[in-house]
A and B are shown apart, each in its own frame.
Chain A
Amino acid sequence: MGRFFEWLDRYFGIKKPHRRFLKRSIPEGVNYFFCLGGVAFTLFIFLFASGLMLAIYYVPSENDAFASIIYIHNEVRLGGFIRSFHKWSANVFIISIILHTIRVFVYKAYRHPRELNWIVGSLTLILAFASGFTGYLLPWDQKAYWATEVGTSMVKKFPLVGPYISYFLRGGADVTGATLIRFYAVHTLYLPLLMCLLLWAHFHLVKQQGVKGGL
């Protein structure tokens, strides 16, 4: 296997530039709390993989969405496991991002020259929340419906453009099948793509600037 990768790398030449990144020396005072970002990224990969699987069976339509969820949970082999895995990974993902943010804050790693990376990270957190919100509607049960109803109603209180934002989010006056398809597309296409871009930026900046050492 190693030989296979050696052969591939003769053409791609990936190893050399990354060796500098992976085998760089890290500063004094680093401890296990510095792993929280990595934990979050691992969970992102878990979510990505389990989401890819769920997308095979899920039907984003008003009539079939709930039935397809029941089908995944009860009929498909390992379906209940994959769905629960996706759900719990999502919860732990958000928690680990928040813990990571606290770690960065405590270690003052948001200060110059890393301010842009703080902004990128914050955007990632916002996208994670957005993923959670859009994903919550997809089971299309009462809890999902009313959570989205309440969530998209809050936007209405925004001065002047509030109602229009809510129409935009819902794809109409009420939460309907149109909202479901919209949220499905955002949850499975737009947000993961943006997330990948942001994470690339996040890691690239870490590579450029190195890890901020201990206190």
Chain B
Amino acid sequence: MPDNLSYSDRRTFLTKICHLFSFIGFFIITGIFLLFAFPKKISKKKTVYVYVCKEEDLPLQGARQYLINYSRQEKPVEHKIFIVNTGKELFALSSSCTHLGCLINWYRSENRFLCPCHGGKYDISGNVVEGPPPTALNHLPMKIEHEKVHIGIKV
């Protein structure tokens, strides 16, 4: 390099420096762009069926709260869900309020799910009765096999 430079005049040297900086800048910006634009989470969500209870423990009428245990990203998670029996149909409801994700509770005396955060109220089917929630509670897929109840959770 020094040999080469001794033949070059100042302008050529400056031009070369400019080129060098342009290339470095170009690669840095490309790198930043790729880092920025590349998606962070790539793995698809899978529905995993988690054991809840035996079939005989299901409510005959009304809603009942269950705690289910499973692992998410190799960490044990406890999750609250509701299983509702309206007499006509049996289904499972998510316990997170559709407004901002607080955990709702079932109040049998009022026959409503109540959210403690902003006063959202849902009826027994999960439809909004009162308050800020924009949509009804999420229904969770449920299946009963060999008298055991399983709930589908997206992991």
Interface residues of A (CB under 8 A from B): 1-2, 49, 53, 56, 75-79, 82
Docked complex Cα distance between A85 and B40 (Å): 21
Q: Do A76 and B32 touch (CB < 8 A)? A: no
Docked complex Cα distance between A79 and B23 (Å): 24
Shortest CB distance A118–B (Å): 30
Contact mask for chain B residues 18-53; partner A; CB cutoff 8 A; 1 contact, 0 none: 010001000001001101111010000000000000
7 chain-A/chain-B pairs, Cβ below 8 angstroms = A1-B23, A53-B36, A56-B36, A77-B38, A77-B40, A78-B32, A82-B32
Q: Do B23 and A77 touch (CB < 8 A)? A: no
Q: Do A56 and B40 touch (CB < 8 A)? A: no
Q: Do B23 and A75 touch (CB < 8 A)? A: no
Within 8 A of A (CB), among B38-76: 38, 40
Docked complex Cα distance between A68 and B93 (Å): 28
Q: A1-B23, A49-B29 are in contact. Are A78 and B36 (CB under 8 A)?
A: yes
- Is the interface on chain B under 10, 10 to 19, 20 to 34, or 35 or more residues? 10 to 19
Docked complex Cα distance between A129 and B80 (Å): 52
Which 7 residue pairs of A and B lie closest in terms of their CB atoms, listed nearest first? A77-B35, A78-B36, A53-B36, A56-B37, A78-B35, A82-B36, A77-B36
Shortest CB distance B10–A (Å): 14
Shortest CB distance B22–A (Å): 10
Q: What 4 additional pairs, Cβ within 8 angstroms, besides A2-B19, A56-B37, A82-B36? A: A1-B19, A1-B23, A53-B33, A78-B32
- Residues of A contacting B23 with CB < 8 Å? 1
Shortest CB distance A21–B (Å): 15
Q: Do B36 and A79 touch (CB < 8 A)? A: yes
- Residues of A contacting B19 with CB < 8 Å? 1-2
**Residue on A with the closest CB to B38?**
A77
**Residue on A with the closest CB to B134?**
A63
Q: Do A76 and B33 touch (CB < 8 A)? A: no
Q: Do A76 and B40 touch (CB < 8 A)? A: yes
Docked complex Cα distance between A1 and B19 (Å): 10
Shortest CB distance A10–B (Å): 19
Q: Do A75 and B36 touch (CB < 8 A)? A: no
- Residues of B contacting A77 with CB < 8 Å? 35-36, 38, 40
Shortest CB distance B68–A (Å): 27
Q: Do B29 and A75 touch (CB < 8 A)? A: no
- Residues of A contacting B36 with CB < 8 Å? 53, 56, 76-79, 82
